Amino acid sequence: MLAVKIVALLTAAVLIADPPTAVYKKTRVFVLVPPEQILPGVKKVAVLDFTGEGADGRSFADAVTSRLFEKQRGIQDIHTGGMFGVGGHTQEGKTLQQGAFTDVFALVERSRLAQVLQEQRLGQSGVLDEAQAAQVGKVLGVDAIVVGTVSFSVTDQRVQEEHTYTQNKHQYTRTVSCVNREGLMKARVRVVSAESGQVLGSVDRPLPVKSKHCDDEEGGLPTEQSVAEESSHALADAVANYLAPHFELGEFELEKIHNKQFEALGERAAELAEGLRVDEAYAIYKSIHDQDPYSPEVMIDLAILNEVVGNWSQAKGFYENAFQLKKDDDYKHKRGLDRMTKDLSFRDALAQLGVVIQEHTFAAGAEDVARATANVVEIRGGGEDRIPIHAQPDDHGAVVASVPGGVTFQLVREEGSWFRIKLLDGKEGYVQKDKAKLRQQ
């Protein structure tokens, strides 16, 4: 079955990607985005059934409620590498912002809602007005009621297209019949104060959907019901984003260190930052900054690491300094500065929802920095000693070489209590950590 293509962007993206140029290493992590509408004083809400026209209003309200219950809404696995979605690998999505969450409201169970509506004999004739919504809210003991309408319509258009085929190394063209299915799902939402009956916020969310199938293709068009269900889930996310914070994937491209003295250290720091080992990465960048305090590249990298953990004030300071030093190439610096100004303005709004991003203390010590920056492994002992190098990190595994003490090898990576090293003949093997030590080359 053909996938339904959502062609409207429901919310503003926070993908911090640069224009299409040569891309350096990136830190990819989920960051908290405040809701579009802050609801002052609202702690407990109820989502009533939406009235539907060509759509299931009750199921849509269930979907919105379900989204609002999610503690880390928006965080998902990240697919990396590959071309056009093919190949690559998947890694677990995560956030580094301590204290960030998305389930900011206490929600009334939907079964309780149905009971109250029946007792109050409300909602049978369609959408509740503000006074009726406030009445229900007071009975339920909530601060606000979410009400609205949802509609779905779909139209099919049959068209003729010229398709080209190759058979026995010869190309030919023929006309085929195709069907374009275009749908539109819309939600109109109101948030009503239970105390005053006033509308605290309202939003209209349209969601165009498109799919196509031609006679020369396998399968067929998705059913109208499946299209409606698919778009309903996406629209429920958009409505939840309007009401409550959510996580979005941020892609922060690091700056390459060009100072030859610190180039190797910068590469190691960028690798650590890419792997979200931000404490170790920060310690390295900070050590470079202490020795070269006027490098805008290092300032940008320090700003990014502060940004991804939620230290927005510190990040803003680094972005400001970098902007002063590199105004001739200021798009990245300026965009970072603009983001931090916006995030700092959101801090109070998030606090009203009970979300307080904790300041992160970068905790890597001197030993951690030495370990992070080490790129060779020195075998302990003397020239007459012979230390076994195993094919696998296992004492009982096959031995691929026996090497003398005092010799250094390139570190590939650490694995538990073992170092994986590259031998002089290019082979790789494992040595126990108690038989070797890390040091810089």
Is the Cβ–Cβ distance between 188 and 238 less than 8 Å?
no
Secondary structure (H, E, C), 115-182:
HHHHHHCCCCCCCCCHHHHHHHHHHHCCCEEEEEEEEEEEEEEEEEEEEEEEECCEEEEEEEEEEEEE
**How confident is the model at residue 92, as a pLDDT?**
86
Packing angle, helices 366-373 and 278-291, rounded to 10: 90
Can you say how many angstroms the Cα of residue 199 is from the centroid of all Cα atoms in its chain? Answer: 32
CA distances from 81 to 78, 85, 86, 91, 348 (A): 10, 8, 8, 11, 38
**Cross-strand pairs, 146:** 47, 191
Collect all residues with Cβ–Cβ distance below 8 Å to 228 and sequence separation of at least 6.
54, 55, 56, 152, 154, 183, 185
CA distances from 18 to 14, 31, 80, 199, 332 (A): 12, 17, 17, 39, 8
CA distances from 369 to 5, 193, 361, 378, 438 (A): 47, 54, 15, 17, 11
Q: Is 113 helix (H, G, I), strand (E, B) or coil?
A: helix
Low-confidence residues in the chain, pLDDT < 50: 1-20, 83-85, 124-126
Per DSSP bridges, beta strands 428-432 and 436-439 are unpaired
CA distances from 412 to 14, 280, 429 (A): 35, 18, 9
CATH (one of 3.40.640.10, 2.40.50.100, 1.25.40.10, 3.30.1490.20) for 254-352: 1.25.40.10
**How confident is the model at residue 26, as a pLDDT?**
92
How much is the CA Rg of the chain, to the nearest whole Å? 29
Is the Cβ–Cβ distance between 414 and 385 less than 8 Å?
no
Is the Cβ–Cβ distance between 47 and 61 less than 8 Å?
yes
The second-level CATH assignment, the architecture, of 374-439 is Roll (2.30)
Q: What is the pTM of this model?
A: 0.74
Give me the residue spans of the domains in the chain: 25-243, 254-352, 374-439
Q: How many whole angstroms separate alpha carbon 428 and alpha carbon 439?
A: 19
Q: How many whole angstroms separate alpha carbon 178 and alpha carbon 158?
A: 6
**How confident is the model at residue 56, as a pLDDT?**
85
- Residue 345's nearest CA partner among 371, 324, 316 is 316
**How confident is the model at residue 10, as a pLDDT?**
37
**How confident is the model at residue 31, as a pLDDT?**
95
CB 77: neighbour CB atoms within 10 A?
A: 10
CB 171: neighbour CB atoms within 10 A?
A: 8
**How confident is the model at residue 276, as a pLDDT?**
93
| Number of continuous H segments (helices) and E segments (strands) in the chain | 10, 18
Per DSSP bridges, beta strands 5-6 and 78-80 are unpaired
